[in-house]
Chain A
Amino acid sequence: MTRLDCLRAIHPALHDRAVVTIMGAVAAELQAIGHRPNFFYLQHAMGLASSMGLGIALSKPALPVVVFDGDGSVLMNLGGLTTLARYRPRNLTHVVFDNESLLSVGGFPTATSTGTDLAAMAAAAGIPRTTTVRTVEAFTEAFREAATSRDLTTIVAKVEAVGPSAYVTDLALLENRFQFQRYLRHV
């Protein structure tokens, strides 16, 4: 399955959640499907999308928060999985699009291409609900269940190593940052 198909399938459900994505294909594809003021694209600082999600979730416990992460990013902040588990924000859904590579820099394979299992690592870190999905139907179902469960969930979505033709978008970083802050202020 493709990341794009997964994002398209759940995009309508994202309107009432704070969404933080890591850089690269997931940011470009989500924005291409349809940018919303409640989407924030962390275009660098790999590893920190989940930490930002935790900061937002702890600060606004009544607001559902979704983090779109990548395997490369998660591998850079594995310790962050233990912190997420420790504080267990019930309103956070952590989606990891695992294409087994660092796509936007040339497609170098990551450790998930040779057996590293991120869902298992998340479970071992103590995250209460974890799953690996390989079809859009399973992804959509897991995403819906994460919301109704009202508990911290990590969904690892195994996707093809394909991405957009361009990664630079016309939404300036600072424009996004101030709009997202304004959204959070009024939500």
Chain B
Amino acid sequence: MPEAVAASVSPVSTAHSRVVYDALKSAGVRLMSALPETWLVHLIRLAEDDPEMTLVRLAKEEEGVGISAGAYLAGVKSAMLMQNHGFLASINGIVSCAQLYRIPLLMLMSDRGSFGEPDPWQTEGGAVTEDLLHALRIPYQTLDEAAIVEHRVHQAQTLAYSSNKPVALLLSRDLMIEGSGPAAVRRV
């Protein structure tokens, strides 16, 4: 009998979710569309509990492209919260709505199926995420340490608005999952 593979049970970091949420809020985001996945639960709850934030829970991530486009044209800054597979599900909307019409998007996507991923079903999506971002010429950075989150979120927002294009931020396992980051590493 094959051994059962243990499901990942490490807790999602509430502290780092707060850092990401606060960074988005301080960047002026007032609407978030979200299709939940494990790593996003605290972020979504923070949006839900904040009377100053409009949270739109989606049936499919691609809707978030249209919602963000409408919000942007109406003067409201928004962010899309999704898993990298949600990015895959959104690609036609990203290309033929946001890119075609030069509309900024701020896309935060949890980077599943990458280094440290124990869930086999995530691995195909993880293998193609960065190649697809490259192919679509979407600028992206990885958020892997709490200390650089606010800076990178603000810079992503600035670039999205100056270029009128989608920009992505990958939420890494090191940032979002407690106990998975390297011990005592400082980067300049």
Q: Which of A's residues lie within 8 Å of B, judged by CB? A: 18, 20, 40, 42-45, 47-60, 77, 79-80, 82-83, 86-87, 173-174, 177, 180-181, 184-185
Contact = CB atoms under 8 A, between A and B. Distances in A.
Contacts of B78: 55
A177 B102 contact: yes
15 contacts: A45-B93, A48-B66, A51-B64, A52-B66, A54-B63, A54-B67, A55-B66, A57-B70, A59-B75, A79-B60, A83-B57, A83-B59, A180-B73, A184-B73, A185-B75
B81 interface: no
Contacts of A48: 62-63, 65-66, 69, 93, 97
B102 A59 contact: no
B74 interface: yes
A40 B73 contact: yes
A79 B64 CA distance: 12
B70 A55 contact: yes
A76 B77 CA distance: 26
Contacts of B103: 177
B67 A52 contact: yes
Nearest to B30: A59
Interface in B94-120: 96-97, 100-103
Given A45-B96, A79-B63, A83-B56, A55 B69 contact: yes
A44 B67 contact: no
Q: Which of B60, B71, B74, B100 has the most CB of A within 10 A?
A: B74
